[in-house]
Protein backbone atom coordinates (compact mmCIF):
# COMPACT_ATOMS: atom_id res chain seq x y z
CA UNK A 1 0.00 0.00 0.00
CA UNK A 2 1.25 3.49 -0.80
CA UNK A 3 2.63 5.68 1.95
CA UNK A 4 0.93 9.01 2.65
CA UNK A 5 2.93 12.10 1.80
CA UNK A 6 3.24 14.78 4.42
CA UNK A 7 1.59 17.80 2.82
CA UNK A 8 3.30 20.43 4.95
CA UNK A 9 1.97 23.88 4.33
CA UNK A 10 3.30 25.56 7.45
CA UNK A 11 1.44 28.55 8.79
CA UNK A 12 -1.97 27.36 7.71
CA UNK A 13 -4.62 25.07 9.18
CA UNK A 14 -6.48 22.27 7.41
CA UNK A 15 -10.06 21.47 6.56
CA UNK A 16 -11.55 18.03 6.39
CA UNK A 17 -14.35 17.41 3.89
CA UNK A 18 -16.18 14.09 3.48
CA UNK A 19 -18.10 13.29 0.27
CA UNK A 20 -20.64 10.45 0.37
CA UNK A 21 -22.69 8.81 -2.40
CA UNK A 22 -26.28 7.54 -1.96
CA UNK A 23 -26.68 3.85 -1.16
CA UNK A 24 -28.73 3.25 -4.30
CA UNK A 25 -25.42 3.35 -6.19
CA UNK A 26 -23.78 0.58 -4.16
CA UNK A 27 -24.69 -2.10 -6.70
CA UNK A 28 -22.72 -0.23 -9.35
CA UNK A 29 -19.75 0.19 -6.99
CA UNK A 30 -19.67 -3.56 -6.35
CA UNK A 31 -19.78 -4.42 -10.04
CA UNK A 32 -17.37 -1.66 -11.14
CA UNK A 33 -15.08 -0.86 -8.21
CA UNK A 34 -12.22 0.62 -10.20
CA UNK A 35 -14.37 2.88 -12.39
CA UNK A 36 -16.71 3.82 -9.56
CA UNK A 37 -14.02 4.75 -7.04
CA UNK A 38 -11.94 6.54 -9.69
CA UNK A 39 -15.02 8.62 -10.43
CA UNK A 40 -15.58 9.26 -6.73
CA UNK A 41 -12.02 10.62 -6.43
CA UNK A 42 -12.30 12.75 -9.56
CA UNK A 43 -15.75 14.18 -8.81
CA UNK A 44 -14.91 15.12 -5.20
CA UNK A 45 -11.50 16.65 -6.00
CA UNK A 46 -12.73 18.52 -9.07
CA UNK A 47 -15.64 19.88 -7.04
CA UNK A 48 -13.30 21.30 -4.40
CA UNK A 49 -10.82 22.68 -6.94
CA UNK A 50 -13.51 24.27 -9.10
CA UNK A 51 -15.44 25.95 -6.29
CA UNK A 52 -12.23 27.13 -4.61
CA UNK A 53 -11.05 28.70 -7.86
CA UNK A 54 -14.27 30.71 -8.16
CA UNK A 55 -13.57 34.29 -6.99
CA UNK A 56 -17.04 34.30 -5.38
CA UNK A 57 -15.78 31.73 -2.87
CA UNK A 58 -11.98 31.67 -2.49
CA UNK A 59 -10.48 32.49 -5.89
CA UNK A 60 -7.46 30.28 -5.27
CA UNK A 61 -5.72 27.15 -6.51
CA UNK A 62 -5.99 24.78 -3.57
CA UNK A 63 -4.45 21.41 -2.77
CA UNK A 64 -6.42 18.27 -1.88
CA UNK A 65 -5.48 14.87 -0.46
CA UNK A 66 -8.27 12.35 -1.03
CA UNK A 67 -8.54 9.12 0.97
CA UNK A 68 -11.06 6.46 -0.04
CA UNK A 69 -13.05 4.59 2.60
CA UNK A 70 -15.66 2.10 1.46
CA UNK A 71 -17.07 0.97 4.82
CA UNK A 72 -19.40 2.02 7.58
CA UNK A 73 -19.15 0.90 11.21
CA UNK A 74 -21.29 -2.17 10.49
CA UNK A 75 -18.81 -3.15 7.72
CA UNK A 76 -21.43 -2.76 5.01
CA UNK A 77 -20.63 -0.80 1.87
CA UNK A 78 -20.63 2.99 2.43
CA UNK A 79 -18.27 4.50 -0.14
CA UNK A 80 -16.98 7.94 0.88
CA UNK A 81 -13.92 10.11 0.34
CA UNK A 82 -12.12 12.01 3.09
CA UNK A 83 -10.45 15.12 1.72
CA UNK A 84 -7.76 16.99 3.61
CA UNK A 85 -7.52 20.55 2.32
CA UNK A 86 -5.06 23.26 3.42
CA UNK A 87 -7.03 26.36 4.38
CA UNK A 88 -6.09 28.62 1.50
CA UNK A 89 -4.29 28.48 -1.79
CA UNK A 90 -2.25 30.13 -4.48
CA UNK A 91 -3.64 33.15 -6.31
CA UNK A 92 -4.24 32.57 -10.05
CA UNK A 93 -1.06 34.50 -10.88
CA UNK A 94 0.89 32.55 -8.20
CA UNK A 95 2.06 35.77 -6.58
CA UNK A 96 0.30 35.55 -3.25
CA UNK A 97 -1.29 33.14 -0.79
CA UNK A 98 -5.05 33.57 -0.46
CA UNK A 99 -6.52 32.83 2.95
CA UNK A 100 -10.18 31.97 3.59
CA UNK A 101 -12.33 34.98 4.48
CA UNK A 102 -13.30 33.32 7.75
CA UNK A 103 -10.84 31.13 9.66
CA UNK A 104 -13.36 28.33 10.26
CA UNK A 105 -15.00 28.37 6.85
CA UNK A 106 -13.43 27.33 3.58
CA UNK A 107 -16.19 26.59 1.04
CA UNK A 108 -20.00 26.42 1.25
CA UNK A 109 -21.15 22.87 1.92
CA UNK A 110 -24.45 23.23 0.08
CA UNK A 111 -22.65 24.31 -3.10
CA UNK A 112 -20.10 21.49 -2.68
CA UNK A 113 -22.92 18.99 -2.34
CA UNK A 114 -24.73 20.09 -5.51
CA UNK A 115 -21.65 20.42 -7.70
CA UNK A 116 -20.36 17.04 -6.49
CA UNK A 117 -23.72 15.40 -7.26
CA UNK A 118 -23.72 16.94 -10.76
CA UNK A 119 -20.18 15.83 -11.52
CA UNK A 120 -20.61 12.32 -10.16
CA UNK A 121 -23.87 11.65 -11.99
CA UNK A 122 -22.54 13.15 -15.24
CA UNK A 123 -19.53 10.84 -14.98
CA UNK A 124 -21.76 7.85 -14.30
CA UNK A 125 -23.95 8.69 -17.31
CA UNK A 126 -20.86 8.96 -19.53
CA UNK A 127 -19.70 5.53 -18.39
CA UNK A 128 -23.14 4.02 -18.96
CA UNK A 129 -23.59 5.58 -22.39
CA UNK A 130 -20.09 4.43 -23.33
CA UNK A 131 -21.08 0.87 -22.32
CA UNK A 132 -18.24 0.81 -19.80
CA UNK A 133 -20.35 0.05 -16.72
CA UNK A 134 -20.87 -3.60 -15.89
CA UNK A 135 -24.52 -4.06 -14.96
CA UNK A 136 -24.65 -7.67 -13.80
CA UNK A 137 -25.91 -9.39 -10.63
CA UNK A 138 -27.84 -6.99 -8.39
CA UNK A 139 -27.13 -4.18 -10.88
CA UNK A 140 -28.63 -6.11 -13.82
CA UNK A 141 -31.76 -3.93 -14.03
CA UNK A 142 -29.57 -0.89 -14.68
CA UNK A 143 -28.38 -2.31 -18.01
CA UNK A 144 -31.69 -1.00 -19.30
CA UNK A 145 -31.21 2.67 -20.28
CA UNK A 146 -34.67 3.65 -19.09
CA UNK A 147 -34.16 2.23 -15.63
CA UNK A 148 -30.70 3.77 -15.41
CA UNK A 149 -32.08 7.19 -16.40
CA UNK A 150 -34.86 6.89 -13.81
CA UNK A 151 -32.28 6.15 -11.11
CA UNK A 152 -30.21 9.18 -12.12
CA UNK A 153 -33.30 11.40 -12.02
CA UNK A 154 -34.26 10.11 -8.58
CA UNK A 155 -30.78 10.80 -7.25
CA UNK A 156 -30.78 14.31 -8.72
CA UNK A 157 -33.80 15.23 -6.65
CA UNK A 158 -32.05 14.84 -3.28
CA UNK A 159 -29.19 16.68 -1.64
CA UNK A 160 -26.12 14.49 -1.27
CA UNK A 161 -24.29 14.37 2.03
CA UNK A 162 -21.11 16.42 2.35
CA UNK A 163 -19.53 17.21 5.74
CA UNK A 164 -16.84 19.80 6.29
CA UNK A 165 -14.89 20.70 9.41
CA UNK A 166 -11.68 22.48 10.27
CA UNK A 167 -10.41 19.16 11.57
CA UNK A 168 -6.69 19.62 11.70
CA UNK A 169 -4.58 22.19 13.38
CA UNK A 170 -1.45 21.92 11.26
CA UNK A 171 0.98 19.64 9.45
CA UNK A 172 1.78 17.46 12.46
CA UNK A 173 -1.89 16.68 13.06
CA UNK A 174 -2.27 15.82 9.38
CA UNK A 175 0.72 13.53 9.54
CA UNK A 176 -0.65 11.83 12.63
CA UNK A 177 -4.03 11.36 10.94
CA UNK A 178 -2.58 10.00 7.72
CA UNK A 179 -0.23 7.69 9.54
CA UNK A 180 -2.71 6.29 12.01
CA UNK A 181 -5.99 6.03 10.17
CA UNK A 182 -5.48 5.62 6.47
CA UNK A 183 -3.88 2.19 6.33
CA UNK A 184 -6.66 0.36 8.05
CA UNK A 185 -9.21 -1.61 6.05
CA UNK A 186 -12.79 -1.74 7.30
CA UNK A 187 -12.19 -2.60 10.98
CA UNK A 188 -9.36 -2.30 13.48
CA UNK A 189 -8.38 -5.17 15.75
CA UNK A 190 -9.43 -3.43 18.94
CA UNK A 191 -13.08 -3.48 17.81
CA UNK A 192 -13.08 -7.28 17.52
CA UNK A 193 -14.52 -8.64 20.77
CA UNK A 194 -15.05 -12.37 20.31
CA UNK A 195 -14.40 -15.10 17.82
CA UNK A 196 -16.38 -18.29 18.23
CA UNK A 197 -16.30 -21.19 15.78
CA UNK A 198 -19.22 -19.82 13.77
CA UNK A 199 -19.62 -16.23 14.92
CA UNK A 200 -17.73 -12.96 15.18
CA UNK A 201 -18.66 -10.19 17.63
CA UNK A 202 -17.42 -6.64 17.21
CA UNK A 203 -18.05 -3.22 18.66
CA UNK A 204 -19.77 -0.61 16.52
CA UNK A 205 -21.39 2.79 16.73
CA UNK A 206 -24.66 3.51 15.02
CA UNK A 207 -24.04 6.97 13.56
CA UNK A 208 -27.48 6.99 11.94
CA UNK A 209 -28.92 7.02 15.48
CA UNK A 210 -26.80 9.48 17.40
CA UNK A 211 -23.66 7.35 17.60
CA UNK A 212 -25.23 4.79 19.94
CA UNK A 213 -22.59 2.22 20.96
CA UNK A 214 -23.32 -1.46 20.66
CA UNK A 215 -22.05 -4.91 19.86
CA UNK A 216 -22.82 -6.75 16.65
CA UNK A 217 -22.57 -10.52 16.23
CA UNK A 218 -22.48 -11.97 12.74
CA UNK A 219 -22.09 -15.52 11.52
CA UNK A 220 -18.51 -15.88 10.33
CA UNK A 221 -19.44 -16.16 6.66
CA UNK A 222 -21.44 -12.92 6.80
CA UNK A 223 -18.59 -11.19 8.62
CA UNK A 224 -16.18 -12.31 5.89
CA UNK A 225 -18.63 -11.32 3.15
CA UNK A 226 -18.79 -7.82 4.58
CA UNK A 227 -15.05 -7.58 5.07
CA UNK A 228 -14.32 -8.61 1.50
CA UNK A 229 -16.62 -5.87 0.16
CA UNK A 230 -13.71 -3.56 0.96
CA UNK A 231 -10.92 -5.34 -0.83
CA UNK A 232 -10.03 -2.99 -3.66
CA UNK A 233 -8.87 -4.01 -7.14
CA UNK A 234 -5.18 -4.93 -7.31
CA UNK A 235 -2.95 -1.87 -7.42
CA UNK A 236 -5.79 0.58 -6.76
CA UNK A 237 -4.42 3.80 -5.27
CA UNK A 238 -6.63 4.90 -2.38
CA UNK A 239 -4.73 8.02 -1.34
CA UNK A 240 -4.47 10.61 -4.09
CA UNK A 241 -3.24 14.18 -4.38
CA UNK A 242 -4.83 16.95 -6.44
CA UNK A 243 -4.41 20.66 -7.20
CA UNK A 244 -1.15 22.11 -5.97
CA UNK A 245 -0.50 18.87 -4.08
CA UNK A 246 -0.74 16.77 -7.28
CA UNK A 247 2.35 14.62 -7.76
CA UNK A 248 3.59 16.34 -10.87
CA UNK A 249 4.09 19.77 -9.30
CA UNK A 250 3.85 19.20 -5.59
CA UNK A 251 7.50 20.02 -4.88
CA UNK A 252 7.56 23.31 -6.77
CA UNK A 253 4.09 24.48 -5.68
CA UNK A 254 4.72 23.65 -2.03
CA UNK A 255 7.96 25.61 -2.11
CA UNK A 256 6.10 28.52 -3.66
CA UNK A 257 3.25 28.20 -1.12
CA UNK A 258 5.72 28.31 1.79
CA UNK A 259 7.43 31.35 0.35
CA UNK A 260 4.14 33.19 -0.20
CA UNK A 261 2.82 32.22 3.22
CA UNK A 262 5.91 33.64 4.84
CA UNK A 263 5.00 37.03 3.41
CA UNK A 264 1.33 36.64 4.31
CA UNK A 265 1.07 36.80 8.10
CA UNK A 266 -1.64 34.81 9.89
CA UNK A 267 -4.67 36.65 11.09
CA UNK A 268 -5.24 36.94 14.81
CA UNK A 269 -8.05 34.38 14.57
CA UNK A 270 -5.81 31.84 12.81
CA UNK A 271 -3.21 32.19 15.52
CA UNK A 272 -5.99 31.44 17.97
CA UNK A 273 -7.00 28.36 15.95
CA UNK A 274 -3.47 27.01 16.04
CA UNK A 275 -3.09 27.48 19.73
CA UNK A 276 -6.43 25.77 20.39
CA UNK A 277 -5.54 22.88 18.10
CA UNK A 278 -2.22 22.20 19.70
CA UNK A 279 -3.81 22.03 23.11
CA UNK A 280 -6.90 20.05 22.14
CA UNK A 281 -6.97 16.30 22.39
CA UNK A 282 -10.73 15.91 21.85
CA UNK A 283 -11.83 13.58 19.04
CA UNK A 284 -14.44 13.86 16.34
CA UNK A 285 -15.62 10.80 14.41
CA UNK A 286 -16.20 10.47 10.70
CA UNK A 287 -19.99 10.54 10.32
CA UNK A 288 -19.77 7.63 7.94
CA UNK A 289 -17.15 5.14 9.10
CA UNK A 290 -16.45 6.39 12.61
CA UNK A 291 -12.74 7.11 12.12
CA UNK A 292 -11.46 9.31 14.95
CA UNK A 293 -10.35 12.80 14.01
CA UNK A 294 -9.05 15.72 15.97
CA UNK A 295 -11.46 18.57 16.67
CA UNK A 296 -9.60 21.84 16.90
CA UNK A 297 -12.44 24.14 17.86
CA UNK A 298 -16.00 23.93 19.10
CA UNK A 299 -18.66 26.57 18.44
CA UNK A 300 -21.89 27.80 19.88
CA UNK A 301 -24.96 27.91 17.59
CA UNK A 302 -24.60 31.69 17.40
CA UNK A 303 -21.02 31.38 16.17
CA UNK A 304 -22.02 28.76 13.62
CA UNK A 305 -24.88 30.55 11.92
CA UNK A 306 -22.90 33.05 9.85
CA UNK A 307 -20.42 30.41 8.78
CA UNK A 308 -22.69 27.49 7.79
CA UNK A 309 -19.94 24.97 7.23
CA UNK A 310 -22.31 22.27 8.36
CA UNK A 311 -25.10 21.18 6.09
CA UNK A 312 -27.99 20.24 8.33
CA UNK A 313 -30.10 18.90 5.47
ZN1 LIG B 1 -14.43 7.36 6.74
Domain locations along the chain? 14-185+232-285, 187-228
More confident residue, 199 or 304: 199
182 alpha carbon – ligand 1 mean position (Å):
9
Q: The whole model's pTM is what?
A: 0.80
78 alpha carbon – ligand 1 mean position (Å):
9
Residue 280 CA to residue 295 CA, distance in Å, equals 7
290 alpha carbon – ligand 1 mean position (Å):
6
Contact 14, 166 (CB under 8 A): yes
256 alpha carbon – ligand 1 mean position (Å):
31
252 alpha carbon – ligand 1 mean position (Å):
30
186 alpha carbon – ligand 1 mean position (Å):
9
Residue 235 CA to residue 240 CA, distance in Å, equals 13
Please write the tens of the pLDDT for every residue from 159-186: 999 988 876 556 667 667 666 666 677 8
Q: What is the pLDDT of residue 52?
A: 96
Contact 20, 43 (CB under 8 A): no
Three-state DSSP at 295 gives coil
Please write the tens of the pLDDT for every residue from 3-25: 444 455 556 788 889 999 999 99
Write phi, then psi, for 198 (nearest 5 degrees).
-115, -5
Report the candidate in 12, 75, 35 with the shortest Cα–Cα distance to residue 229: 75
Residue 263 CA to residue 258 CA, distance in Å, equals 9
292 alpha carbon – ligand 1 mean position (Å):
9
Amino acid sequence: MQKPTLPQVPGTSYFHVVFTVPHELNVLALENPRLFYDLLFTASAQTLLEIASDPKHLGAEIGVIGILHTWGQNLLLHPHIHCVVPAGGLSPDHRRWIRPRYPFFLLPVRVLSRVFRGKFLAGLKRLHHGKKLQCAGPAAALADSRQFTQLIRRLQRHDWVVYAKPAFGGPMQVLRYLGRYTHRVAISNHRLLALEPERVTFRWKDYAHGGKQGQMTLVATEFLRRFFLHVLPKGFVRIRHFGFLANRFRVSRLALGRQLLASSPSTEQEVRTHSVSSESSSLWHCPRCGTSMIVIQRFTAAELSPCMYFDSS
